[in-house]
Amino acid sequence: MAGRGRGRGTNTSLTQEQMQALGIARGDNAPQVLAPPPLFPKLETKPLPLNSDAATDYMVIVKDQFIEYLHESPAYVKANRETDGIERYSDKYKLLALDANKGRVLDCVWANFPPELRPQASRIRPSSRKRKLDDPKDIEKRLQLLEKKETQENTNEMMATAGDDNKKQDDIDEDLEDEEEQEDEIDDGTDYANNYFDNGEDYEDEDDNLDDDPVY
């Protein structure tokens, strides 16, 4: 029964006659190729030989010269390479080559360029927002806070309380709780934490109703 339901007759798109017109006879089908085509297919025809004379040689040399010139000029933009912290012997030479090129600006006719490309017009980039804990003072404060919390827990166990201390610790607790709350809020931003668990109790209920009038 396969192949029924979409048009009638054969499951190919062409009739026998059309196939024949295209030059495909019965039983003439090529075996299916399952392997991918080769990465470097064989050349069916040989390419023409390249002519090499003095003019060509000259052009090849000139071309290489031009490329070399460009590579040494500031037109060749180099990435700022980050060192991995390991000192190598070859660094000496590489750095020398880099230093020679560093700070050189392409000499252009600046009047013909839009202002944003001109050298003096280096726009001051907006300083990226400081992270909260980058300041050493902040880190210290935070560490103190945590330390105090630890000691407080210890003291709680020991049930040693003093009125003055309590007040202070309450403050600290509030501080900490505030931060924890903030973190919680961020966590709640996604719905991963939501409970989608289905205990499967409703499973049978639906079926009972459907028994009476089936859906066609």
Q: Which residues are near other proteins by CB under 8 A?
A: 15, 17, 21-23, 44-45, 47-48, 50, 52, 55-56, 58-60, 62-64, 66-67, 69-71, 73-80, 106, 108-109, 111-117, 122, 125
Nearer to other proteins, 104 or 132 (CB): 104
The least CB distance from residue 27 to other proteins, in Å, is 15
The least CB distance from residue 59 to other proteins, in Å, is 4
DSSP annotation string for the chain: -TTTTSSSS-SSSS-HHHHHHTT--TT-PPPPP-SPPPSSPPPSSPPPPPP--HHHHHHHHHHHHHHHHHHHSTTS----PPP-S---TTHHHHHHHHHHHTT------GGGS-GGGSGGG-PPPPPPPPPTT-SHHHHHHHHHHHHHHHHHHHHHHHT---HHHHHHHHHHHHHHHHHHHHHHHHHHTSSTTS-----STTHHHHHHHHTTS---
Nearer to other proteins, 78 or 168 (CB): 78
Count the neighbouring beta carbons within 10 Å of the beta carbon of residue 98.
Answer: 13
Tokens 């000139």 correspond to: 62
The least CB distance from residue 82 to other proteins, in Å, is 12
Nearer to other proteins, 109 or 210 (CB): 109
The least CB distance from residue 8 to other proteins, in Å, is 14
Determine contact, residues 144/172, Cβ cutoff 8 Å: no
Nearer to other proteins, 78 or 141 (CB): 78
The least CB distance from residue 202 to other proteins, in Å, is 50
Nearer to other proteins, 125 or 132 (CB): 125
Nearer to other proteins, 64 or 171 (CB): 64
The least CB distance from residue 101 to other proteins, in Å, is 11
